Chain A
């Protein structure tokens, strides 16, 4: 206990003193702080991956663009820091702050900036590949354990992994989809683990993590579109009938297809909701932590004392927020999987079931009237 108090006091005093020390050290940049710039830089994508504790060095990543004269592949180190890169007859550079394509690779054609067709391996793409490898590694690990030990329950980390599989498979997929769960379980479980690993990777600040993956709308959009495709491609005939000819009074669907229009609109709001929910939740968490950290610098610019006080509060809040984000990472992966399962199951309605129910209701009504 005494040791803990000593460590804690040392930690707090270090936090208080840091801004004071940093204020004296004027070697960094021009000293002007642009919080908006920093926030968007951290949340957004980038060519190259920051090295911990150094803002100028980046791990170079390949840039792949189809310019006006074909395919170009070069290292991102050629264009960082405002440099222009000439590959053959084409000139590439990173768009400046005032450009429409801020921070993206652009091609200069006749003095004008043109955005080429860009499929570069950016920081986020690289992060996605790392997440894919981690998920594949984890699942093959579990598979090899099962192959080797059969029914035996795994312990420790692998036990947790199996618990997660069991939890999602049993209480989300099986309880909603029933007999059809075998058909959709591979997709849904893949989605869950992919999102969960990407969420957690986003919370790690240094190299293998640090990319704001699920807080990027492109990533969540792809996942939602996949769920949309799975939902509608495997849908039953009854599902389509419910959309185009639902059981409502005729005037709601005949001359003016009011209900079908609403139903079709509903088809597309579901993936939109999935996209935005995951994206906004994860991005929000990241943004709060960055803002809390930036508060230190904003207050330190005012006075070192205020900076010291803010440091303590900010760091404690950041730790708290990061812990909450771990929980949110799981919850959002779970919610995405659960909603995907529900959307898929809604598209698996069968005629017999409804007819039976309607018949039952009819019987009830007749018996009541008698």
Chain B
């Protein structure tokens, strides 16, 4: 059967052709193509890994951010409470300070009034005594000659007045 007997010429040329084909591809094509295929596979692997890492980091960051927000809220609430307390405290203090001051002013005013009253009483008494002496002098001058008797009378009168008061 001619189909099953290999022809030498064809074997020879097939061998030559394959050798040429293999040499050309091995020298020029395969290194570039296979390097490209390999490095692209590496690139894809790296990309996937990077994406996974990024996702992990993003998840972490989100959690952290939530924690920060919660912390900030808590701090805010604390500060509000503090401020409230300080406010009432300040008002309270101001009020008590004002009261103390007012008390002081009133006390000093009272003392002054009492002093002035005393002074006025003293002046009044002096004047009254002067007037009385003047009046009595005039009256007594007319009625009594004896000065000693007159003074005695006047003093007794004055004592009388004083004890009445």
Contact = CB atoms under 8 A, between A and B. Distances in A.
Interface of A: 40, 43-45, 64, 102-104, 117-122, 124-125, 128-129, 131-132, 135-136, 139-140, 142-143, 146-147, 150-151, 162, 165-166, 169-170, 182, 185-187, 189-190, 194, 216-219, 221-223, 226, 283
B25 A190 contact: yes
3 nearest A-B pairs in the assembled complex, by CB-CB distance: A218-B6, A139-B29, A218-B10
Contacts of B25: 135-136, 139, 186, 189-190
A216 B17 CA distance: 15
A170 B41 CA distance: 10
A136 to B, nearest CB: 5
Name the prevailing secondary structure of the B interface residues: helix
Given A132-B21, A139-B33, A226-B18, A119 B12 contact: yes
Contacts of A122: 7, 9-10
Contacts of B12: 119
B3 interface: yes
Contacts of A135: 21, 25
A136 B29 CA distance: 8
Given A146-B36, A216-B10, A136 B24 contact: yes
Interface in B1-32: 2-15, 17-18, 20-22, 24-26, 28-30, 32
A143 B37 contact: no
B4 A140 contact: no
Nearest to A126: B13
B40 interface: yes
13 contacts: A43-B3, A45-B10, A121-B13, A122-B9, A125-B10, A125-B14, A129-B17, A136-B24, A169-B34, A185-B30, A190-B26, A222-B14, A226-B18
A140 B11 contact: no
B43 interface: yes
A143 B7 contact: no
Interface residues of B, number: 34
Contacts of A283: 3
Nearest to A166: B37
B3, B9, B30, B40: residue with the most chain A Cβ atoms closer than 10 Å? B9
A165 B33 contact: yes
B30 A151 contact: no
Contacts of A147: 32
B22 A44 contact: no
A186 B26 contact: yes
B6 A221 contact: yes
Nearest to A65: B9
B47 to A, nearest CB: 11
Nearest to B13: A125
Given A117-B8, A151-B39, 4 more contacts: A104-B7, A128-B13, A170-B41, A190-B22
B20 to A, nearest CB: 6
Nearest to A275: B6
A124 B17 CA distance: 12
A217 B4 contact: yes
A189 B30 contact: yes
B11, B13, B18, B37: residue with the most chain A Cβ atoms closer than 10 Å? B13
Nearest to A151: B40
Contact of A143 (B2, B15, B33, B39): B33
A117 B8 CA distance: 8
Contacts of B14: 125, 128, 218-219, 222-223
A45 to B, nearest CB: 6
A135 B14 CA distance: 14
A170 B7 CA distance: 36
Contact of B34 (A121, A185, A222): A185
